[in-house]
Structure formats: C-alpha cells, structure tokens
Amino acid sequence: MSHGLSTAHTIPSSWYTDARFLEREKERIFWHTWQPVGHAAKVASPGSYLAVEIAGEPCAIVRGNDGILRAFSNVCRHRASTILEGNGCAKSLRCPYHGWTYSLDGALLVAPEFEGVENWNRSDVRLPAMRVEEWGPFVFVNVDSQTPALSEVLGDIPNQVAALGCPVSKLHFSYRRDYMIRCNWKVYVDNYLEGYHLPAAHPSLFRELDYNEYRVDTFRYYSSQYAPIRPPRPGRDEARRYAAGDGDDRALYFWIFPNFMLNVYPDNLSSNIILPVGHDRTLTIFEWFTYPKGEETKDISPETVAFSDEIQQEDIRICENVQKGLASRSYDRGRYSVKRENGVHHFHCLMEEFMKGTA
Ligand code: FES
Ligand SMILES: [Fe+2]
C-alpha cells in the first residue's frame, strides 16, 4: 500500500508515457468506476436514448416505457455492429446492419430470416446490462457490476452541494467548451489536485485567492479543495475580477476518482470531464450549468468563461511541458510537498490500489 506523504515518491513516469499502461488503466480503472457520460435531460422521456463510449466500450443509455433508465452494451449480438448512434427517441432499438431489433429493455424482439439456426433461442438473447445512475444533471455508467454504488463514491458531496444552495436537479445546461491537450490524462488530474502551482503559474488567479488558507481534504474516492477568495486591499486591488466582500464568496471544488471534477459556486456549477484519447493525448470537457432564479434562468456570463479559459490555457502549457519532461530518460519519480500536494498523493495511492499487480 501507500507510504506516508512525507516519505512517498510520485508514481513512475512510465505510467504516463507507456501506451500499454493506458490499456491496463481502461480495464482496471475506466471500466470499474462511475463514468459521467452525458446529461440526464437527454434521456428524460420514455424511449429517449444516448449512445456513448466508456474508454472505447460502446454503451447505450435508454429510458424505458416504464420510466426506468437502463444502460446496455451498444453492440449487436449478431455480428457486433454498434446499434444506436448519438441521441434520439425510439420505440425499439434496431441494428442498422441486418435489422435485428431489441426492446427498450434490451431483449431481442426480431431477428429476420433466422429460422433453422440450431442451439439458439431468440428469447435468450439480450444486450448485456451495465449499471447506470443519475445525480443532478449527470448520467453515470459503470461497466462493472461489483463496485460500490454511486452514492457511496460521492459520499458527502451531495449534502455539501445542497448546503451551498445549489439545486442539482434543476440546473440548466448553458455552455460547453472542449480542450485537446498533449499530455497523459493523469498529468491534467495531478495539476488540478494542488494549489502549489498557483503563485508561479497562475498569477491572476493567485491574486484572487487567499493562498495561506488554501487546503485540500481527501476522502475515500474523492478530494475537495478549499480556496477562499481574498478580501480586497483598499487602493491596491482595482484590477481584481471577483469583488468578494459581498459576503458570498463560498465555493466548493471536488475531484471524484478518477476523472470527474465539480466546481460549485453560489450561482453556477461547472464540471470537468477528463478523457484519455491516447496515452499522451487528453480531451477535457468543460460544461457550465446555471441555477434557476425565480422564473428565468440566466446563461453563464462570457466573463466567467473567459476567466476559466485564461486559467486553462496556463494549465495546458504546464501539462504539455510536464508530459515532455516525463518522457525524459533523466526522470522517473519525484517527491511531494507535504503542505501542498496531499491531494496528488491521494490520487496516486488510488492509482496504486486499482493498478495493483499489473505494472
Ligand atoms: S450485426 Fe446487428 S443485425 Fe447483424
Ligand atoms: Fe492550474
């Protein structure tokens, strides 16, 4: 198991640079954890469906006529064509290759011209089920049937989000921005999990936050960051972006193992989903949701998106530099700041736990 933070080393650089390691991560991590795959609003009505991939594994999410949300393998049992594409609404699920048709709960209804096939019963054929759960605006799927329930993984997060006044079931999707980054997905996650790089790498963000109070708390499958906005100093902080001082400067930042982040503010919530595209290529999806205010719901402000984008560009530069360095023959492992990098260490301990016996 893991050593204490003060004696520990970071995970080996080969975990970030070896394409074969990503294949093992799919099997050990991405197909064994709750993966955020889309918006609950897209599969709200009976017959609505959403086709997604979980680390390359085709998955269909379908709302049944009984109102139950189900997830299946999106692979036809005949000759393995994928069945559904994109997002839509259907009465049944028809494979586009030879027209085998499945019910909304995954049972095979029709297999044209399949008489005379021996040792085969239409009624025995179904699309293999996966677990699916909803929380707030998100749908999560877990390919593995044995791992803890979503509620267990999220722990106290739903309570804390509710306590901040965020109505998760009423959020309005406002805006999405994607970034493709030339680094391993863990480089991006490592970077998200510490405030240690704020002074050197994010001067404008550093001015906004009370760095001395910055803190990372770790739990079983997630960590949270406490980053209070600094009160302005009279005469010196005209250029500050956040006014603070209006008393409502609370914010919550959560990272949920392995690749989901939630940033919760008094008037909006944003998520970051971190998807490995290759061992050295990562897609980060940023989405903003706003809260209903009385009758109307405002969209996220362009200033909020622009500030996030400025920080993200700074992080992208850092992450791409780190990926280059990790591939260097001169580097393998580093050490952690005890004061500032406990969140990175926590992530690495989870990596070691899930990858045990493979490396
Ligand atoms: S592969 Fe689906 S019907 Fe043939
Ligand atoms: Fe950063």
**Tally of residues, the chain:** 359
Decide if 139 contacts 39 (C-beta within 8 A). Answer: yes
What's the sign of the alpha-carbon dihedral 73, 75, 76, 80? negative
Domains and CATH numbers, the chain: 5-32+150-355 (3.90.380.10), 35-142 (2.102.10.10)
Ligand 2 centre from 341 Cα, in Å? Answer: 13
Of the candidates 196, 225, 135, 193, which has an alpha carbon nearest to the alpha carbon of residue 350?
193
pLDDT in tens, 319-344: 999 999 999 999 999 999 999 999 99
79 lines ligand 1 (CB under 6 A): yes
pLDDT in tens, 143-178: 999 999 999 999 999 999 999 889 999 999 999 999
52 lines ligand 1 (CB under 6 A): no
76 lines ligand 1 (CB under 6 A): yes
pLDDT in tens, 36-81: 999 999 999 999 999 999 999 999 999 999 999 999 999 999 999 9
100 lines ligand 1 (CB under 6 A): yes
Distance CA 345, CA 232 (A): 33
pTM > 0.75: yes or no: yes
81 lines ligand 1 (CB under 6 A): yes
Distance CA 30, CA 33 (A): 6
Q: What CA–CA distances, in Å, run from 36 to 30, 173, 265, 271, 348?
A: 11, 15, 20, 10, 21
pLDDT of residue 247: 46
Lowest mean pLDDT of 89-93, 252-256, 293-297, name the range.
293-297
Decide if 230 contacts 209 (C-beta within 8 A). Answer: yes
Is the pLDDT confidence value at 245 over 70? no
DSSP conformation letters of 116-185 = T-TT--GGG-BPPEEEEEEETTEEEEES-SSSPPHHHHHTTHHHHHHHTT--GGG-EEEEEEEEEESS-H
Decide if 65 contacts 105 (C-beta within 8 A). Answer: no
Lowest mean pLDDT of 96-105, 214-223, 289-298, name the range.
289-298
Lowest mean pLDDT of 118-122, 158-162, 246-250, name the range.
246-250
Ligand 2 centre from 117 Cα, in Å? Answer: 59
Q: Using CA atoms in the order 288, 293, 298, 301, what is the torsion angle rounded to 10 degrees?
A: -60
| Helix-helix angle 185-192:302-326, to 10 degrees | 120
Distance CA 83, CA 97 (A): 8
pLDDT of residue 131: 98
pLDDT of residue 225: 95
Is the pLDDT confidence value at 244 over 70? no
Q: What is the mean pLDDT of the chain?
A: 93
Of the candidates 340, 167, 344, 189, which has an alpha carbon nearest to the alpha carbon of residue 264?
167
Best residue among 79, 92, 108 to mutate for probing ligand 1's pocket (most ligand atoms within 8 Å of CB) is: 79
Count the alpha carbons within 13 Å of 274 in the hemisphere toward its beta carbon: 24
Q: Which ligand is nearest to the CA of 188?
A: 2
Ligand 2 centre from 123 Cα, in Å? Answer: 53
Beta-strand pair 252-256/222-226: antiparallel
Distance CA 229, CA 200 (A): 18
Average pLDDT over residues 93-122: 98
Decide if 336 contacts 218 (C-beta within 8 A). Answer: no
Q: Which residues fall within 8 angstroms of residue 88, CB to CB, at 6 or more apart? A: 48, 49
